[in-house]
Amino acid sequence: MTMKLNLNIDPKALGKVAVLMGGDSSEREVSLTMSGPGVLAALLQGGVEAQAFNPAERGLHELKAEGFQRCFIALHGRHGEDGTVQGALELLGIPYTGSGVMASSIAMDKIMTKRLWLADGLATPRYMKLKKEHISRERCMAIPDELGLPIFVKPPHEGSTIGISKVMGYSQMLDAVQLAAQYDDEILCEEFIDGPELTCPILGEGDSAFALPVMQIEAEGGNYDYQNKYFTNTTRYLTGALTDSLEAEVRALVLAAYKSLGCRGWGRGDVMLRKSDNKPFLLEMNTSPGMTSHSLVPMSAKAAGISYEQLCLWLLSQARLDGKA
């Protein structure tokens, strides 16, 4: 696996680097206290001239004024992985890690992502959407009739399970929709796929992109929520849990999903595996995955023989602008 990556990187050739962390999204604390500091420490350890930079406290124009030559985006959520920061860096002419403006914007919108995947024939759970201004008890009660129960209700532009509810009965629908509406103008109601939750990171771009080992997530009580993602040690992350053929199928599906959205650099596809027939269904693509001690991409990379520091250096080495190699 590591043979596909050139890990012989000269840190001095990467120039002065800003690690973007914090921001103003609902996920800023994870970025500011976990992902960002982890990446910064790894880059400094690797000999990179790197500094922390919080866009919530400083204008992005200061990046150019202070001579930063690359940015490692360790921001999560809105104004971090939704194409807005990427667009600003394009205008500033400062190469950055991860996907470009369009892919970042699409991947941040779970509904638009589903539309593209369905157009490309990729399996994703059935869904319905609601507009915030059209919420009514009658509309909410009609959704389980179409999708069945349970249902997941989500704000489609948020991550880290923020604002998500698992609805078990009709009486919970309205509350779940109103919770999601606190975070978004649209609400995604998604068919529940009963089975294990999987995740698969992708590195690279185009024909050179490849999948890292699939990880199966086993959270306490089957609830992989915000707390279990970042702050508990009871969640289990398993590699090698699938048969070789199923592992290959999931990797191929996530790789196709990554390419469908036009992603580059890195990403992480989340998948549900229907236990009745072992069919995988795509949930979402994360274009700025977490880099915390509990994060899935570093764990999967480690299983492939790639250390955290090597991963950070390689990702930084791939920083670029749209339309430029």
Residues labelled catalytic: 27, 160, 230, 268, 270, 284, 286, 290
User: How many angstroms separate the CA atoms of 95 and 78, rounded?
Assistant: 20
Largest CA distance in the chain: 61
CB neighbour burial string for 96-120, b if at least 16 within 10 angstroms, e if fewer: bbbbbbebbbbbbbbbebbebbeee
Long-range interactions of 251-257: CB distance < 8 A, separation 24+: 251/200, 251/211, 251/214, 252/211, 253/122, 253/123, 253/280, 253/282, 254/200, 254/202, 254/211, 254/282, 255/202, 255/209, 255/210, 255/211, 256/120, 256/122, 257/117, 257/122, 257/282, 257/285
